[in-house]
Amino acid sequence: MQHTTDSFLTITPLGGLGEIGLNCQLWETASGVVMVDCGLMFPDDSHLGVDVLIPHFGAVSNIKDKLLGIVLTHGHEDHIGALPWLVSQFKGTRIYGTRFTLALVEHKMREHDALDKVELCPVDEHSAITLGDLVFHFIPVCHSIPDGVALAVETPIGKVIHSGDFKIDPEPLEGSGTNMADFAAFAGAEGVRLLMADSTNVERDGTSLSERQVKEALRRVFQTAPKRIIITLFSSHIHRIQEVFDLAAEMDRTVVISGKSLANNVEYASELGLLRIPPKFYNAHNGVPDVADERIVLVVTGAQGEPLSALSRMAMGGHRQLSVHEGDTVLMSSRVIPGNARAISRLINQMYRLGAEVYYESVHAIHASGHAHRDELRQLFAAVRPQLFIPVHGEFRHLVKHCRLAHECGVQQENCILLEDGHPITFTPQSFSLLEPVSVECTLVDGKGIGDVGHAVLKERHILGDEGMVIVDLVIDGESGSILHGPEMISKGFVFEQRYRHVLEDAKCLVLDEFEVMRPGHYERLQDGIRGSLRRFFRRVLERDPIIVPVVTVV
């Protein structure tokens, strides 16, 4: 690609640098903007009531007139999950991805009634597309979902590689795996100008466990399990699901699946030829076959202890068709996502109470990560020999340690660039420069509300959870100015009213004091006065700070 004096590439990370999730970047050149991935992140304990977090709406709306398309590396939620909300700002946006990735996107768009807003453009491994002055090549990689790709991009400032989520499995059970020769061929003799690579497992030495090792570990469990086998895993891990299906068929066990996302993904993968359904196969939604316990395998959702998942409902007695039995062998074949450890621990303990034996990753080799360990990352550096390096897809400590690894692998210290969300960087053919940070505060999705929950609302929710609320009900005659009803004090999560009745009675007196000094008709000031007076009172008497809600009605 010919470079001119005004050639540039500006990359703005909107998510994924400093957290696991929310992966989204904007790549801008003189010809327009390409969005790379568009993921969400699930809330932690601080996001009370919030469903999901998505990239900053404002940052996306600013480029909607220049958007050339959205390019996806694979179909995990942290790479595609925000699409239904963000594409609502666009019309006819082209989304590029591999077959399975787009099958998941299509289903997601249908669920949100947004399919008419996008054009889904399938790409094949090793194919290329041109968006403005960017030429994207797709290199197949091994990950915990089919059809994952790395992006090898010809840009105005040189060759750029975005690894996507990847690992190196020398003998993958399914697919072509990650072939370093593909990366080396794109890099050529001179290497690439910029590499951005997955940092998730940079703290783990050696290489990741192969799927063949996982299958052998699962085989040993299948051979020794005395009764039913219950296995839960990520519903998008089609290769792992295939391993379970194959082992079930080999040992003459009937497979029963339960969970909407699992059933959907099994259907899409089988339609695309990515999954072979075993001969004895049932969906629990349509009924459970009458099969002896030692001849059945249940594949269910719930790997993260989600309360509404199939496994949680089975353990808690809330599943219509299935339950956990004494003597069951339960396999939790997935990693623990940060923040879910407590829920998973509760679920495991409950299943032991019911008499099941539970296998999980920290004790048994029944899960292999889909992300490269340090030795695999070294292989990537050796293959592409980058001049510049930016670590992506990781918490901040992962990014720091990946920069150190890059330096060990030959990248100059000053060329290891540590970015965070909202920190744009512009490259020219000869140099690079950091730009002023832009706002990338996450947009919070709560039910049908998008962006209407912010720090103020979350703060109030925390106060309600920690301190509770006191409602003051007061009815005033508009003509005479006298009190017709109240003040009535209603405690919600604040104090036990019978025990602290004397405190609430004293609080009523303070409300009456505020009413006495109120100027006629100044009811808003009365509400402010009640709020301030009661907060000071409760802090002094009980050392608590509830939300005070004065309800003053004038009739």
Residue 466 tokens read as 């920690």
Rg, Å, the chain Cα set:
28
Q: Tell the residue number behind the tokens 């889904």, with chain if given.
A: 120
Residue whose C-alpha is closest to residue 369's, from 214, 236, 150, 244: 214
Cβ-proximal residues to 378 (8 Å cutoff; 6+ apart), any chain? 405, 409
The catalytically annotated residue of 137, 239, 371, 423 is 371
For residue 137, indicate whether it is catalytic: no
- The answer to whether the CB of 434 falls within 8 A of the CB of 425 is yes
Instruction: Read off the amino acid at residue 155.
Output: T
CA atoms within 13 A on the CB side of 505: 5
Count CA atoms closer than 13 A to 232's CA, side-chain side: 29
The closest alpha carbon to 396, from 369, 423, 378, belongs to: 423
Distance separating alpha carbons of residues 263 and 284, to the nearest angstrom: 10
Residue 287 has what DSSP assignment? -
Burial of 415 (0-12, 13-18, 19+ CB in 10 A): middle
DSSP states along 151-188: EEEEETTEEEEE--S-B--SS-SSS----HHHHHHHHT
Through-space distance between the first and last CA atoms of the chain, rounded to whole angstroms: 76
Helical packing angle, 238-250 and 260-271, nearest 10°: 90
What is the rounded CA–CA span in Å between residue 511 and residue 403?
61
> Tokens at residue 366, please?
């029944």
What are φ and ψ of residue 102, in 5° steps? -70, -30
d(CA 57, CA 79): 16
Peptide bond into 146 cis (omega under 30): no
Dihedral of CA 103/109/115/119: which sign? negative
Q: Cα dist. 135→139, 152, 153, 259 in Å?
A: 13, 8, 5, 39
Cβ of 285: how many Cβ atoms within 10 Å? 13
Enter the tokens of residue 58. 């404002």
378/407 Cα distance (integer angstroms): 11
Is the Cβ–Cβ distance between 164 and 367 less than 8 Å?
no
Gap between the Cα atoms of 134 and 307, Å rounded: 44
Q: Of 37, 133, 147, 198, which one is the catalytic site residue?
A: 198
Residue 126 is among the residues annotated as catalytic for this protein? no
Please return the burial class of 50, using the count of CB atoms within 10 Å of its CB with bins 0-12, 13-18 and 19+.
Answer: buried
Catalytic residues: 198, 371
